[in-house]
Amino acid sequence: MTTEDNAATAKLEKMTANLAKIEALSARLMAALAQKKLSDPGVQGPGQEIYMKAAAAYLAGMMQNPGKVLEQQIAYWGKTMKHYVEAQAALASGEIRVPADPGPKDRRFSNPLWDTHPAFNYLKQQYLFNAEAVQNAVADLESIDPGDKKRIEYFTKQIVDMLSPTNFLGTNPDALEKALATDGESLVRGLENLVSDIEANNGEVAVTLADREAFVLGENIATTPGSVVFRNRMLELIQYAPTTKKVFQTPLLIFPPWINKFYVMDLKPQNSLIKWIVDQGFTLFVVSWVNPDASYADVGMDDYIREGYLTAMAEVRRITDQAQINAVGYCIAGTTLSLALSHLYRAGDTSVKSATFFTMLTDFSDPGEVGVFLDNDFLDGIERQSNADGMLSKTFMSRTFSYLRSNDLIYAPAIKSYMMGEAPPAFDLLYWNGDGTNLPCKMAIEYLRGLCQDNGLAEGTYKVFGHKVSLEDIQIPVCAVACETDHIAHWRGSFNGFKQMGSADKTFIVSQSGHVAGIINPPSKGKYGHYTKEGDVAGAPDDWMAEATFNQGSWWPSWGEWLAKQSGKQISARIPGDSGSPVLCAAPGTYVLNAQKTPTD
């Protein structure tokens, strides 16, 4: 037998073995899919009404201006026929060449075969023609509410993106090339990845974005030294160990969002906002929220304010023996900090000296991209599902936010994992992104209905402990940091809410980049700059930006200077436990590990 025969035999044996693995994995796949629980249709997609509105608007356009619709169709048909004729001519010439490709570059089609192979090029160009035609038709819809049109545009784009030829094995040259090069091994690994993800998510398809085994909290992520110095059913309070001999007298307390875990601010020492704050000489406390289960179903926003905000503030004052603290609220925690500050003002409580808000919305009259999920079709479904489960599952929230960037957070990772058979990367930020939390049923509905949908805080109708609160009640010095390309809390919306606060001392900063990267932007990287402007925070956000000054580098030092002015004199550094308050355990604590035992201390 020749060397070639031996190689062919080995190849055949490898492919046969891979086929056997695929058969076994297919059985596992069916068993994993069977674990999926039925969920309310309202959390799976928009209601039928939006499709009816789109169809009615399109038909109305046809009746009112048939020439315009016909023009669109003829332009689409013309491009399609011209492309077909050019492709046929190229094939008939006997040359392996493709027709001219004048369209803009799309990183989904980066494989050279999309530009050089006639079949793949035809698929790509025709898909882009189809996508353009559909999106143009939606953009030209008239006689429709602007809010409905925005939702139709968004969900149309989701469908168009889903149908990209890159998302299907038979039309993805990268996946096909790798399958041939590995004798099918990549497809086996991809199926293993798919089955593992479905098994890990109880029948749901949710692609793993980062290696789950690459990080251990407290060992190679969330490692800034500190101690848990207080615990109740809602939170663990972490006091971080000082790194300077002297510290500012007024302590700083950060409330992170309870939609995610706090350690996004402490991924590694090089980009840790927590470590940077400590290194600047601030006594830092950070709340680590509990990850609620169904037993927290009746916990509402008032409970978060009472047992979370007010309790943590009181503990920090007690531990440091200070009458006042500075506070930070991040995302939804910033919105809730606004509620708490309004309540404190009306109660005559001056225990908060200044407040900072990261990527926060308080005025939801224009909620940005997230607004497509705030109509009754989704919220009714979320309410029914949350009442049934006792909580709003992290699965639904994670999926919603991922679809705001579906090509980056769903399709591209799925292609690499399931079609290419690649292992997820050891990426700390993506690891954190996949380590989500649930929301208590009552709190989730109060937030979505009362604050997001009804815009209760900006309208002055939302109640805390039975009394209405208002942005005008926030009279202390305040600073807000928004992010220029934030798709969750857009900077214009953040500006519009922030300017309504009653404080005479308002500082607004816009960081380059998005919801996370814009905040976690250490000075050492010199990556993203920020915008600042002296004077009042008033008028239209775009007018503010037109007059703002661009500053190279991170916003952290600018904020640090502002915070130092609110923090009093320098005193000897405080050590966790030196006040007589017991140290319960080392940071990052137990709640971040999903421990949900009701504490006895």
- What was the pLDDT predicted at 365? 93
Residue 598 has pLDDT above 60, yes or no: no
Per the CB < 8 A criterion, the answer to whether 241 and 401 are in contact is: no
pLDDT level of residue 7 (50, 70, 90 thresholds):
low
Residue 293 has pLDDT above 90, yes or no: yes
- What was the pLDDT predicted at 394? 87
585 counts as catalytic? no
Those residues with Cβ within 8 angstroms of residue 90's Cβ, 6 or more apart along the chain or in another chain = 97, 98, 99, 118
Q: Which CATH superfamily is domain 226-593 in?
A: Alpha/Beta hydrolase fold, catalytic domain (3.40.50.1820)
Among 1-10, 288-297, 563-572, 592-601, whose mean pLDDT is lowest? Answer: 592-601
- What was the pLDDT predicted at 413? 93
- What was the pLDDT predicted at 369? 87
For 583, phi and psi rounded to 5 degrees? Answer: -90, 120
Measure Cα distances from 323 to 247, 316, 317, 326 in Å.
16, 10, 6, 11
Distance CA 329, CA 257 (A): 8
Q: What are 148-200's pLDDT values in tens digits?
A: 889 999 999 999 999 999 999 999 999 999 998 888 889 999 999 999 999 88
Q: What are 429-472's pLDDT values in tens digits?
A: 999 998 989 999 999 999 999 999 999 999 999 999 999 999 99
Stretch 313-337: mean pLDDT, rounded? 97
Distance CA 575, CA 239 (A): 8
Closest CA relative to residue 224, chosen from 268, 289, 271: 268
- What was the pLDDT predicted at 361? 96
Stretch 267-293: mean pLDDT, rounded? 97
pTM given for the model: 0.91
Average of per-residue pLDDT values in the chain: 90
- What was the pLDDT predicted at 599? 38
- What was the pLDDT predicted at 549? 97
Domain boundaries, the chain: 49-167, 226-593
- What was the pLDDT predicted at 473? 97
- What was the pLDDT predicted at 513? 94
pLDDT level of residue 601 (50, 70, 90 thresholds):
very low
Residue of 172 and 79 predicted with greater confidence: 172
Residue 31 has pLDDT above 90, yes or no: no
Stretch 257-284: mean pLDDT, rounded? 96
Helix, strand, coil in percent for the chain, rounding step 5? 50, 10, 35
Among 95-104, 258-267, 272-281, whose mean pLDDT is lowest? Answer: 95-104
Measure Cα distances from 232 to 437, 587, 590, 596 in Å.
18, 16, 12, 11
Per the CB < 8 A criterion, the answer to whether 377 and 50 are in contact is: yes
Distance CA 64, CA 76 (A): 21
pLDDT level of residue 62 (50, 70, 90 thresholds):
confident
